[in-house]
Amino acid sequence: MSARNATHDPSLRSWVESANQPDSDFPIQNLPFAVFRRAASAEPFRGGVAIGDQILDLAALHEARVLRAGAAGEAAPALAAEALAACSRSTLNSFMALGTDAWSALRAELSRLLSVTGTAAQHALVPQSAAEYSVPARIGDYTDFYASIHHATAVGALFRPDNPLLPNYKWVPIGYHGRSSSIRISGQEFRRPRGQIKPSGTEDPQLLPTRRLDYELEVGVFIGTGNALGAPIGIDDAERNVFGLCLLNDWSARDVQAWEYQPLGPFLAKNFATTISPWIVTLEALAPYRTAWTRSAGDPQPLAYLDSPRLRQSGGLDMQLEAAIETQQMRAAGQAPQRLSRSNFKHSYWSIAQLVAHHTVNGCNLEPGDLLGSGTQSGPTPQEAGSLLELTVGGKQPLTLESGETRTFLADGDRLILKGWCEKAGHPRIGFGEVSGTVLPSGS
């Protein structure tokens, strides 16, 4: 768990004035990473850091050689320079592989450059409104977990009213290996997927466009250094192998899923599209918003490899999550998106460290840029559900939108917007930006 340092100082201000606004997602205490270029240009993609409504171009900063040299024998400036060079590339994998000391050293130098003490980096700013983004890392593997007990219980109750939560859930972090090739950046548009569906009352399945298309409000976890094959990561070392977090929407075709998922789990119902936000917020930036991780005394306590005093003290994260919808009719009328629900990552039954430790306990190797999904993050009340499957009780209770439209599942033209942020008295808001995606009509 990252310790607090000078970069977390609530009194810090940047000479980028938009970063000092109280509603900014990207104050100087945040400094999240992305891969970008100027929109509609032939420029190479490269690393950038968000500051207010601007992007600090890390390739331009590297070329300008503005980082301090440091005193003889001082390791941090050399680490920061190495990290900055790695951020000049088209993906952040090399930077992620450098590890926590390098990430922290670069963060400290960028905080210094962007503070009120000088404007040496002013030439390297690009407005976010003038940029386009790429998936920030080459994602070798993607694993999606099922870490919210509230989601697991609500969904289980729809299909197994007498036994909604299977007996292994409280013992083991459940996950499945997803498809990394269809992960795209915010703004993704995708066609309504087709698959085998067995409509109620029929004997045989049919190949049809999904009629029960859903979103899932998730947190994405980008792996940093990772581990060698056969070398498990211990629970107290797990977060040293996590570079940072993003927002993630794991689009789901619920009717396809219902027919195909037994006995091996999700397949075509999940692998057609996954959308992530462009910005990765480092765990170091989130240090002030850590919370205790708890397990109810009435529940089984985790096995030893999934438990530790450090986890219990600060393994949770107080992170607000929100889902909103913008229908085609709302766009035409100029109406703002409507919030569907709000939840919090602190309700997660399994922590980030536990997901990493469990993923590797059998010797599985995680590599820089690998992505873990938290699974749908639902809270303890129905209004905190992270999917339409829960909000509409399996499609039985349609939602009436402010536009007068109703939804059980997503319609063509619908745009889903997910947001996330951390806030705490005496500290600035740390935001994740947003992740959005739009449903297009099914192809032939």
Q: Which residues are known to be catalytic?
A: 151
Helices (H) and strands (E) in the chain, counts: 10, 26
Q: How far apart are CA 372 and CA 248, in angstroms?
A: 10
188, 438 contact by CB (below 8 A): yes
418, 217 contact by CB (below 8 A): yes
Report how far Cα 401 is from the mean position of its chain's Cα atoms.
Answer: 27
Q: How far apart are CA 350 and CA 147, in angstroms?
A: 5
322, 416 contact by CB (below 8 A): no
Residue 185 identity: I
CA distances from 220 to 191, 200, 281, 349, 376 (A): 23, 34, 10, 16, 11
Q: How far apart are CA 333 and CA 374, in angstroms?
A: 35
Backbone angles phi, psi at 23, to 5 degrees: -95, 5
Q: How far apart are CA 26 and CA 364, in angstroms?
A: 35
108, 6 contact by CB (below 8 A): yes
Q: How far apart are CA 340 and CA 401, in angstroms?
A: 9
Who's near 200: CB < 8 A, 6+ residues apart? Answer: none
Furthest CA-CA distance within the chain: 77
Backbone angles phi, psi at 220, to 5 degrees: -95, 140
151, 373 contact by CB (below 8 A): no
Residue 52 identity: G
How crowded is residue 130: how many other Cβ atoms within 10 Å of its Cβ?
Answer: 14
